[in-house]
Structures are given as C-alpha cells and as structure tokens.
C-alpha cells in the first residue's frame, strides 16, 4: 500500500539513511550487542552527515528543518533494519524537544552545537527504582544553595546513560502539595563529568542488547542554576507537552519492526520446506501472514495520520496514546505469529525473527505501559 505521508525528498533521505546503516551499523551490530552499547564514533559519523541536527537551527550547526518527518524516516529505517538504537531515539526525540522549546538562548548556544555534531550525546532520567510510571513519586532531590542546586538520589532504566555527556534529570525541588503531587518537580541538565554523578551498572536486558541501559546515582552533585531547563517546579507541565512525540516515535518503530517481521517470515516460508513442500504453500501460513499484513497496514495508517497531526502541532496526548497502544500491541501479536511460523528456528537467536521478538516486548512498557495508555484513552472518552 503506497504511503502518502512522505515526499520524494523524504524518500531520497531514506535511501541515504539506509545506505549509511548498511555500511556503518549492520556490520558492527553483533559487536555492539556483545559489548552492550553503540560505539561513540557511530554518533559522530551521524553528526557529520547532518542526521543528528535536522531540526536544530542552522546557527547552531543544524539544518533548521521544522518538520518531524525526517526524524520519522530515520527511526523507521533503524527499526526496519533490526537495529536497537534507543540512545539515538532518546537524543533526537525525547531530549531535543525540551531543548528546542524550553532552553533559553544562552543554553541553546552552549548545548546545541555539540548535540548536532554527536559530541554531546544526551539522555533523560525520570524513572526511579520505586516509582515506575508514577512520576509524581520522584524522590531525587535538588536543594537550592545560592547559585547551585545540590542533587541527591538515583535513577534507573536510563537509555543512553552510559554514553551521555549531559542528562536531563527530573528532580524534586520542593515537597509535593496535598492537592497536587505533581508540584515541586524541576528539570536540570546535568553535565555527567560533574563530581558526584555516577553512571552505575549496565542492566542486562531480554532484548535491545546494543542499547546501553543503566542506573544513575547523584551524591551531592552541584548543578549551576543556569543549567535548569524551564522554571523551577514546572517539570511535570513540560514533560506532559512532549508525551505525544515520545509515544509517536515508539509507535513508528513498532510498526516498522512488525513490517520487517512479516517480510522475514514471507521469505523464510517460501524457502523452508515441510513434508516436501514450501511452508508458504500451506493455507494456515497464507491466512496468518495475510492477517499480519492487514494488522501492519492498519498500524501504518494510524501512524501516518499521527505523523501528519504532529507536524501540524495537532496530535493530542490521547491520540498519541491510542496510536502507541494499537501499534505496540499489534507488534507483539504479529512478531509472535511470525516466530511461530519459523518453528524451532524462530527460537534461535541467529535468526532475525528471534531478535525482533525479544526487542518487541518492551515497547508495551516503555514510554507508558499499555495499561497507562488505556487509561489515557478512556479518560478522553469521559470514562
């Protein structure tokens, strides 16, 4: 089914991204999976080609493109290639919107050139060991002491935390109010070289093996007041404004991954024989793959509509939640069915479907669990 969301310029960019990933990522990916992180040189190469600064203003070394569609293409190609580049997604789609919207002119001048070049990779730290989806329960504190904040606490499940040179950390700068637990939260952009900032153990995961995910700890970390993003106590409002894009990018990757699973399985069943005949010739195989193709097409239509809405600044939190809910649940169904059609080989990690299966499971958790997405959608229905 032809997609109408992209122009010829986007498709030219897609071809360039695909060639780059085939040349610079796929041959090294097994090594990245074993070591648990992507080589920093890869991000510097992306910066040189302009891939990291597409939305960054020209005066800071970027391309100054307002449209999100080029980022969407980049995420689609990475997911379609089976590359778990969560650090890249975090850098471009989670961190940058905060810098774009809420950083002041002086902060942009300091931070954005390195952001666009890949020299200053970034991460965002919200989740804590005892909070999970309950951001209002954050316990990491930032106590004001003259012209600095003194930060103490811990974060977990931080994508890109090992390699980041600056991390947006959500801290509690004042106690929560009785009527509003979300009050009193502030975002600080902390330089990871600051004394007391520790990137802790890397977490061993079921999937996403090349994506570094770690714990962070803060022991009397002194953060200059000029590294605060936005106003004190306004973090929850700022975080809420970026939720649609965060959830959209997860949905984009989920649909691309599901599509890739179907493509792998079509190829496998055409070439794999059982009882002397190609597995693809069995009626069950045809019906299962037809259902999977329909699911992917429905998910793609939802995602493409959401991309257009996001570019028009019209994607609501409820719409983004609905798209993420459908796309990630669909991804789980489709990848599971595709693995089943591989039989025992689907359980062997040298086959792409096994890695797609392992990587897919977390999309129903990160960026807000499916249960949270259902709650958001239900609330929009006045339920």
Choose, from 128, 215, 246, 329, the residue flagged as catalytic: 246
Residue in 339, 280, 304, 324 with CA at minimum distance from that of residue 1: 304
Residue 296: alpha-carbon gap to chain centroid: 20
Contact indicator for 159, 212 with CB cutoff of 8 Å: yes
Q: Does the active-site annotation cover 24?
A: no
Whole-number Å distance between alpha carbons of 234 and 178: 17
Strand 185-191 versus strand 166-172 pairing type? antiparallel
Whole-number Å distance between alpha carbons of 120 and 355: 29
Whole-number Å distance between alpha carbons of 287 and 37: 39
What's the chain's Rg over C-alpha atoms? 21
Residue with structure tokens 């930032």?
Answer: 142
- Which residues are annotated as catalytic? 246
């Amino acid at each position: 089914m032809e997609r109408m969301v992209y122009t010829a310029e986007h498709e030219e960019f897609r071809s360039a991204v695909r060639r780059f990933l085939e040349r610079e990522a796929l041959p090294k990916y097994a090594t990245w999976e074993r070591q648990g992180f992507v080589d920093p040189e890869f991000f510097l190469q992306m910066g040189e080609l302009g891939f990291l600064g597409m939305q960054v203003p020209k005066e800071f070394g970027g391309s100054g493109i307002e449209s999100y569609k080029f980022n969407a293409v980049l995420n689609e190609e990475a997911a379609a290639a089976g590359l778990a580049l969560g650090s890249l997604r975090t850098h471009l789609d989670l961190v940058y919107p905060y810098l774009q919207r809420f950083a002041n002119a002086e902060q942009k001048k300091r931070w954005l050139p390195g952001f666009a070049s890949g020299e200053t990779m970034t991460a965002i730290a919200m989740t804590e060991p005892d909070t999970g989806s309950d951001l209002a329960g954050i316990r990491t504190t930032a106590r004001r002491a003259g012209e600095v904040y003194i930060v103490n606490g811990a974060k977990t499940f931080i994508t890109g935390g090992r390699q980041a040179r600056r991390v947006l950390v959500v801290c509690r700068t004042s106690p929560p109010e009785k009527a509003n637990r979300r009050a009193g939260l502030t975002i600080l952009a902390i330089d990871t070289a600051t004394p007391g900032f520790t990137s802790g153990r890397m977490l061993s995961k079921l999937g996403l093996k090349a994506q570094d995910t770690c714990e962070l700890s803060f022991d009397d970390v002194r953060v200059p007041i000029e590294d605060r993003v936005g106003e004190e106590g306004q973090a929850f409002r700022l975080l809420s404004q970026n939720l649609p894009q965060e959830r959209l990018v997860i949905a984009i990757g989920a649909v691309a991954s599901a599509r890739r699973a179907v493509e792998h399985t079509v190829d496998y069943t055409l070439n794999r024989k059982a009882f002397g005949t190609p597995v693809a010739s069995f009626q069950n195989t045809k019906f299962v793959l037809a259902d999977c193709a329909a699911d992917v097409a429905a998910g793609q239509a939802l995602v493409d509509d959401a991309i257009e809405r996001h570019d028009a600044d019209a994607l609501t939190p409820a719409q983004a939640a609905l798209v993420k809910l459908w796309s990630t649940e669909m991804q789980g169904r489709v990848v599971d069915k595709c693995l089943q059609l591989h039989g025992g080989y689907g359980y062997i990690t040298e086959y792409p479907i096994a890695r797609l299966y392992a990587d897919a499971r977390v999309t129903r958790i990160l960026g807000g669990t499916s249960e949270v997405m259902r709650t958001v959608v239900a609330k929009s229905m006045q339920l």
